[in-house]
Amino acid sequence: MRLRTLDDLGDLAGRRAFVRLDLNVPLEDGVVTDDARIRASLPTLTELLERGASIVAASHLGRPSGRVDEALRLRPVAELLQRFLDRVVEYVPTDGVLSPEVEQSCQALAFESGRFVLLENLRFDPGEEANDRAFAQRLAGLADVYVDDAFGAVHRDHASVVALPAILREQGREAVAGRLLQREIEALSRLVADPARPYVAVLGGAKVSDKLGTIGALVERVDALLIGGAMAFTFLAADGASVGDSLVEPERFDGVRAARARADERGVVLQLPEDVVAATSKSMDASRHTVPSAQVPTGELGLDIGPRTVEEFARTIADAKTIVWNGPMGVFELEPFGAGTRGVAMAIAGASAYSVVGGGDSLAAVKKYGLEDGFDHLSTGGGASLEFIEGRELPGIAVLEVGRVSDRETSP
């Protein structure tokens, strides 16, 4: 894969760069509670500004479903960007994404180096998620070059990710990857192209249905697959274990059995929890105890992997040369059920392996336990990183490849 990057752009003085960012940050009462994604966008923005470009920045936030949602406006993001960049960020709330005033303002950026405009939430317009070409053409009129730095969105067939760069390339204009996207691809490629072995994947989270495709793909690639979190109970229940009131998806039994059979066929070690921390409810003060994973009492549910499982997982992790982790081992947000996630995170951070962590909850856990320096790469994309390591073609990356213009259809 050969991508165009910022290094392929010529003189940017007086040129307008449309920069697709991933500023999908958590908000609480209109306040950003985690600014990591905003900070991750700064290297690309700073470089473009230092090279003389003016910027039209755009991002989605939440799931407004093509309608204006006052709680999902980008004003709090604009305020943080202004502070971090130490320059004026022009942001005008609109009843959609584009308005005559916004378009005129972006047109006026030509030959005005250093100005910065932030568009309103892209998903306020139904054309974004529909990958609508007409909407993308209006966005294309706002800038001279396109820069994608939103790794967390490159697996989406959305207008600002696919149709827009395709249109610009059809017109002979540049569409390139920003520094964050470039770094993500370089780091994750090490998990796909001849990874050092043993290669161990650690998966967690609530629903196995969310990651069954990933499990099937990883069974073909890894040497060991460690499964924790509530998703493990579907595997256990499919084998006839008594898992009490733990989360189980019976409709996925055939899928998990097939994954186990394929792992056995390929000689892949598939480790499930041997013990779990069970409680009567998901609460701080619930009575809890450690029980065998196949003997969770009726009326109780497993909310974390147990100490023996942490120990067994850590043994496998210690021997690894490549590790990818996505998904917590339990309800780590509640301290009584955080020991499993903390133990696994510490084991990975202490391993002499190339280690990558992705997914919002896993990143939050790494940050919570102060283990950032123990990982080689902290991926900003959850679904995107999983699809990349599965070996899928991601549309937002494909459209930037040298020698290609997206052949994916966009709606008329």
Active site residue ranges? 37, 207, 360, 383
SS3 content of the chain, % helix, strand, coil (to 5): 40, 20, 40
Distance of CA 38 to the CA centre of its chain: 14
Q: Helix 36-50 and helix 179-192: axis angle, to 10°?
A: 120
Give the tokens for residue 365: 């856990």
Alpha-carbon distance of 9 to 94, in angstroms, equals: 31
Classify each residue of 234-264 as buried b or exposed e, where b means 16 or more C-beta atoms within 10 Å of its C-beta: bbbbbeebebbbbbbbeebbebbeebbeebe
Task: Name the E strands within 94-167.
Answer: 116-118, 145-148
Looking at beta carbons, which pairs linking 85-88 to residues 24 or more positions away fall under 8 Å?
85/42, 85/45, 85/46, 85/49, 85/116, 87/49, 87/114, 87/116, 88/115, 88/116
Contact present, 304 and 338 (Cβ < 8 Å): yes
Backbone φ and ψ for 369, nearest 5 degrees, come out as -95, 5
Nearest to 18 by CA among 160, 179, 183: 160
Backbone φ and ψ for 411, nearest 5 degrees, come out as -65, 150
Alpha-carbon distance of 12 to 346, in angstroms, equals: 44
Q: DSSP labels for 200-220? A: EEEE-SS-GGGTHHHHHHHHT
Alpha-carbon distance of 113 to 46, in angstroms, equals: 13
The single residue listed with the structure tokens 């052949």 is: 407
- Round the CA-based radius of gyration of the chain to a whole number and report it: 23
